[in-house]
Structure 1
Amino acid sequence: MKNKKFLLLVGLLFALGMFLTACGGGEKEEGTGSDGGNDTGSETENDTGAEDNDADAGDKPEFLSLLTGGTSGTYYPLGGEMASIITDETGIQTDAVSSNASADNIAALQAGEAELAFAQTDVTANAVEGINSFDGNPVDNIQAIASLYPETIQIVTVKDSGITSVADLAGKTVSVGAPGSGTYVNATQILEAYGLSMDDIDAQNLDFGESTGGIQDGNIDAAFITAGTPTGAVEGLAATTDVSIVPIEQDKIDSLIEQYPYYAADTVKAGTYDIEEDVNTVAVLAMLVVTDSLSEDVVYDITKAIFDNTDKITHAKGEYITKESALDGIGIDLHPGAKKYFEEEGLLD
């Protein structure tokens, strides 16, 4: 009898266990279905959101590099101010980066190493055409934002050097900038206008600071410096030494402009570097170049940031940076974002 009661009790417990297991399995399956539905919905929503965010991030980068020039020139300090304006106005962290200037800057844009750069209009035109420093290697991924200000070709020496004409550079030790740089190309073309070549001088490939330091130390006789005036390195030299700027005669200016239309007549004004009289020379234009990988909206915002806030530029060259002159002498295609801005400003048809 006891065995029968015991077996009955075991049977009841077994049946109860099976029932509870079945109920628990049902709750788990429902829960999994419900959670799975929520997870699926959540994952779908989150994934879509992430994709949207990624797309937005692709249109508007978090960081931009603005390639400038040597720290003793004009590009670097001016670029620093522009980078700050772009950062403040667009929310894109933009850093001004010291570099070897025009030709190297364009090569870096071509290689995808940066997005924005200062460059001379002549060097940029050469890059797109695949000539001079870019012979056989045309650059097809750059477009213009705007031109900025005149870059004066300054042939710097000291008063007692005996150099009063470009012709006097023959046989002298002269800094001509890095090979392929804008300054180097300008030096080559100006020497040619006088029937000279790099073989007729002791050419030194120095940056602006090294050039003026070399003049001060007596290691070089003169230096070609293509930069907005006043140039910091030359101002530093003038603080300790009587500086002279070698003039370019008018007939040579005319022939240079005829052969290379991106040149313009220019003057280093009396009082600059404490010189006593105006000095005639030539200039090219500084411009801001961008890769075509940046979207129309981003470049529109960058262009608007700069030209709606030129009053915030304290550098001496800021007075030349205007909407009205921004399309002068560019020589390459405008980026669609820049074009949109200048169209809105009524400066393009």
Structure 2
Amino acid sequence: MMFKKISLAFVSLLALAMVLAGCGSLGGGADADPEEISMLTGGTGGTYYPLGGEIATIMSDNTEKTVSAQASGASVENMQTLQDGEADLAFTQTDIASYAVDGKLMFEDSATDNVQAIGTLYPETIQIVVLKDSDIESVEDLKGKRVSIGDVGSGTAENAKQILEIHGLTLDDIKVENLAFDESTELMQDGDIDAAFITSGAPTGAVEGLSAQKPVRIVPVAADKAKELSDKYPFYAEDTIPAGTYGLEEDVETVAVLAMLVARADLSEDAVYNLTKAFFDNVDGVKHAKGKLISPEKALDGVGIDLHPGAEKYFKEEGLK
């Protein structure tokens, strides 16, 4: 009888230990330091997935961790998955990260408190596209025009509202169309809309397709308005669309949200420091076209949420604020 009691107690303790070990493997706790790191990216046809694969390889080669990139539904889904402790690192956009942390818009019922920033990567440019012969020269000229602001509930739609706001306009001042990028450019080509907001890395395929049929322009966001915008919404950064893009005759000043790498807040400081250092010290190993836009010097632009202490340690050591 005594042996049975001891055996049952041992089995119970063993089962408890296995449960606790399982919880640790999900990354729970205030100082999680898993050997295998999962990185959420985006769809296989986008930029996040191939770029994430390269970043994961660089991190694996320069730390004792094994980092694996995984396809996902991108920014919004990634923030929720990190919040749930089901992954370690992720790509997201700076504006989506801010909405998640602040519990706004699509995160109104699910605010995030377990995600912090590692650093921004490259701009997702806000492009206000019009045909070259359009009479729309400024954001203010959009008043009364038929304008696509992106899909309902999209980040692009929020970008449009915020940019209009800084210029003294609201959605009531324009004739709103909620269209995907391809639909926007198709209707513009047919003369059915006057302008379209498109938030995407430039050049964007839909806009390139339109420019191959009809000459286009990008409506600028002036520097003073860009500063006013970033002062109110710190996830924005100034950006420039270079001459030659879409056949543009000169550079166009605008703004961008940024693609950003984030981490679970409960990953240990040492783990995130080592991963951050491994990537940014070896960023020249990125062969993807976006790699030339990534640098530690730009990685704090437009972050908009708290840095993870491990990332903060790295940037302080590099003399960056």
TM bucket normalised to smaller = 0.7 to 0.9
Counterparts of 1:254 and 1:56, CA distance in 2: 44
Aligned to 2:11: none
For each residue in 1:282-336, what CA deviation from the matched residue of structure 2 results, as whole angstroms up to 9, or x when unmatched? 2333321122244445434432342132112233432232223323342322223
**Contact 2:273-2:311 within 8 A present in 1 as well:** yes
Structure 2 residue runs of 5 or longer lacking an equivalent are 1-14, 27-32
2:201 counterpart of 1:203: no
CA contact (8 A) 2:37 2:66 kept: no
Matches within 5 A, 1:268-283: 268-283=241-256
Cα distance, 1:224 vs. partner? 1.5
Instruction: Report the CA distance shift for 1:124/1:170 in structure 2 as closer, same or farther (over 3 A).
Output: same
Query: Which residue is equivalent to 2:70?
Result: 95
- Give runs of aligned pairs for residues 102-181 of structure 1, distance below 5 A: 103-112=76-85, 114-135=87-108, 137-181=110-154
Letter in structure 2 aligned against 1:78: L
Partner-residue secondary structure (3-state), 1:128: helix
CA distance 1:239–1:333, shift in 2 (3 Å): same
Distance 1:276 1:62, change over 3 A: same
Name which of structure 1's ranges 327-336 and 104-113 shifts more when overlaid on structure 2. 104-113
Deviation, structure 1 residue 265: 3.5
239, 253, 258: which one pairs with 2:226? 253
Provide the C-alpha distance between the structure 1 equivalents of 2:44 and 2:200, rounded to a whole number of angstroms: 11
Matched residues, number: 299
Map residues 1-349 of structure 1 onto 2, 5 A cutoff: 59-60=33-34, 62=36, 64-68=38-42, 71=45, 74-86=47-59, 90-99=65-74, 101=75, 103-112=76-85, 114-135=87-108, 137-199=110-172, 200-206=174-180, 208-216=181-189, 220-250=193-223, 252-343=225-316, 345-347=317-319
Deviation, 1:173, is 4.0
Shift of residue 61 of structure 1?
Answer: 5.8
Task: State the alpha-carbon separation in 1 of the partners of residues 60 and 183 from structure 2.
Answer: 32
**Contact 2:128-2:219 at 8 Å conserved across structures:** yes
Higher helix share: 1
Distance 1:106 1:149, change over 3 A: same
Shift in Å at residue 188 of structure 1? 0.5
Does structure 2 retain, via aligned residues, the 8 Å contact 1:87–1:94? no
Pairwise CA RMSD of aligned residues? Answer: 3.8
Q: Secondary structure at the residue paired with 1:92?
A: strand
Give the letter for the 2:284 counterpart.
D
Distance 1:129 1:106 in 2: 12
Contact preservation (8 Å) 1:86, 1:92 = yes
TM-score by length of 1: 0.69
Identical amino acids, percent of aligned pairs: 55
Q: Distance in 2 between matches of 1:80 and 1:218?
A: 41
| Whole-Å separation in 2 of the counterparts to 1:201 and 1:78 | 37
Note if contact 1:303-1:338 (Cα within 8 Å) is conserved in structure 2. yes
Q: 1:132 to 1:54 in 2, by over 3 A?
A: closer
CA distance in 1, matches of 2:102, 2:45: 29
2:9 match: none
Checking the alignment, whether the CA contact within 8 Å between 2:93 and 2:259 is kept in structure 1 is yes
1:155-208 per-residue CA deviation (whole Å, 9 max, x = no partner) reads 1232244433323434444332344443222110112233332343223142x4
1:25-58 residue CA offsets vs partner (Å, 9 max, x unmatched): xxxxxxxxxxxxxxxxxxxxxx9xx999979956
Larger Rg: 1
**SS of the counterpart of 2:136?**
coil
TM-score (norm 2): 0.74
Q: Which residue of 1 aligns with 2:4?
A: none
Give the AA of the match of 1:302: L
Between the aligned partners of 1:272 and 1:215, the Cα distance in structure 2 is 18
For residues 178 and 294 of structure 1, do their structure 2 counterparts lie closer, same or farther at Cα, with a shift above 3 Å needed?
A: farther
Q: After the TM superposition, which of the residue ranges 82-91 and 264-273 deviates more from structure 2?
A: 82-91
Residues of 2 paired with 1:134 and 1:51: CA distance? 31
Partner Cα separation in structure 1 for residue 82 and residue 272 of structure 2 = 15
For residues 52 and 300 of structure 1, the distance between their equivalents in structure 2, rounded to whole angstroms, comes to 26
The alpha-carbon distance between structure 1 residues 178 and 107, as it changes in their structure 2 partners (threshold 3 A), is farther
Distance change in 2, residues 1:231/1:347 (3 Å): farther
Deviations 1:113-133 (A, max 9, x none): 544333333442343233455
